[in-house]
Structure formats: structure tokens, C-alpha cells
Amino acid sequence: MVEEAVRVSNDLLSALLVSMISLVGGYYFGVVRSRNERREEAIAAIFKEMIVFYRGIVGWIQTPNPNGSPDVEPDTTLADYCWKRLRTFMDVFVGYEIWLDEDTHKLIHEFEHAGLEVMKKFRLPRAERRAAWDRLRRDVLAPIVNKASDALRAEMQAIPTAFLRQLILRRGGAHREDTEPGG
């Protein structure tokens, strides 16, 4: 009788253990991986649209024909193409900004404002636009593009370890101060 009770309790504990492992494994390989994949897609989309907009501006300024069209959209003027790319970038950013950490969000927001500033300067005549562009690219837009690109890349590389870091922080294995750089 005692042996049967021990066997039944062992079976129940084994079943409970398997259930718990399945639940944790299912959560990690289902929800967490899916969330990380959506985050990766969001960051990649923001990065792509930011770079396509930036390259559109560079192409517009460097072309000898100010009323020319980009190779990818031959029926569109460069000005219209750049405005379209800016709107697309802004839409993607607004749609996916929830996936960005605060510092990266600020950098992308700065790039958005710098892009608007650049586009407003392009209403100037071509010679003035070229002079304004050189200064804006060197002093404003290029540094922000570089910082934002680096921040987006860093977020992409941090994704696989985010779950483990959160798990360690929740379980009390490390203190928040210990996880910060230089801490």
C-alpha cells in the first residue's frame, strides 16, 4: 500500500515536472522567440527606410539634373521621391517605435527632424541648395545617421540575450547596477 502511494506520488510529480518544463519551453520557444522576431523585423524596417531616405537625398543633391528622376521610379521627380521616402520612413518609425529602447528612439527622432530640415532647405535654388546640403550633411544629418545606424545595429545584436538578461534580473541573480556598463 505504501509502495503504491509512493509510486503514484512519483508519477504525479514526474507529470507535474514535465508539464512545467513544457510550459516554460513553450513560452520561450513560442512567445519570446516570436516577440524577438517581430522586434528584429521592426528594427530592420526602420533601418531600411532611414537609409533609403538618406540615399535618396544624396542622389538628389549629386545629380546634375535637378529635375531628374531616380532609377527606381523613373516617372517621379527626385524631389517627390525624397518626400515620399521621408513620409514612408516616418510612417514606419511611428508604427514600430514601440520596439526601440529610449536612447535609440531619441536618435531616430532626431534623424526625422533633421530630415525635415533638409527637405525644407531643398526648396532653395540649386546652387544655394548645394551649399546648404554640404553643411547639413557634414554637421547634422551624417552624424545622426551614423549614430542611429550604430544604435539600431546594437539593438539587433542585443536581442538574443534580452530574455536571459531579464530572467536573471527577475530572479535576483544580478542587480540592475551590476548590469550597466562601467558598473
Dist CA 20 CA 33 (whole Å): 18
Dist CA 149 CA 127 (whole Å): 30
Vertex 159: Cα angle to 156 and 163 (nearest 5): 170
- What's residue 159's pLDDT? 55
- What's residue 83's pLDDT? 92
Residue spans per domain, the chain: 37-179
Residues 11-22 have pLDDT tens digits of 788 878 877 777
User: Do 163 and 28 touch, CB atoms closer than 8 A?
Assistant: yes
Share of the chain above pLDDT 70, in %: 75
Dist CA 68 CA 83 (whole Å): 14
Q: What's the average model confidence in pLDDT over 117-139?
A: 74
| Other Cβ atoms within 10 Å of 142 Cβ, number | 14
**pTM (whole model) above 0.75:** no
- What's residue 76's pLDDT? 87
Share of the chain above pLDDT 90, in %: 21
Q: Is it the case that residue 175 has pLDDT exceeding 50? A: no
Identify the CATH class of 37-179. mainly alpha
Mean pLDDT estimate for the chain: 77
Confidence of residue 66 (pLDDT cuts 50, 70, 90): low
